[in-house]
Amino acid sequence: MIVVPLKKITPSISQQVLNSETTPDVMKFAILGYDGPQGEAKRKIHRAAHLANLEPLDRQGRVVLAGPLTDKAGSLLVLEFETREEAEEFIRHDPYTVYGVFERVEIHPFLQIFPKSPS
């Protein structure tokens, strides 16, 4: 398990991660972002920026799934990256991390079994 330290860093750096070319050898990572005490209120404020940060990955077909947990504990994202470091860098600069929606983040390698990926 990797817990990404939550640092106040500008979200624009995440664009550097997204602008790198991807190879067919990408790995999937399950990212669990746990909301802090003010997470629900902050989530409303920073949602548009968070979604805009995910948009380039989605256009590249690298978002397997993403959304809030309905018990309001946080969010689950399953995203494709070439390396764990790239996943860490992306979430470290996501607006939900930068602005304190997420109090804690876990990143786990993920093996998708279903639905079967088209090959």
Query: In 10 A of CB 49, how many CB atoms?
Result: 14
Name which of 55, 24, 17 is nearest 117 in CA terms: 24
What per-residue confidence (pLDDT) applies to 42?
98
Q: What is the pTM of this model?
A: 0.79
Domains and CATH numbers, the chain: 2-7+26-110 (3.30.70.1060)
Is the CB of residue 103 less than 8 Å from the CB of residue 7?
Answer: no
Summarised one tens digit per residue, pLDDT across range 17-37 is: 444 444 458 999 999 999 999
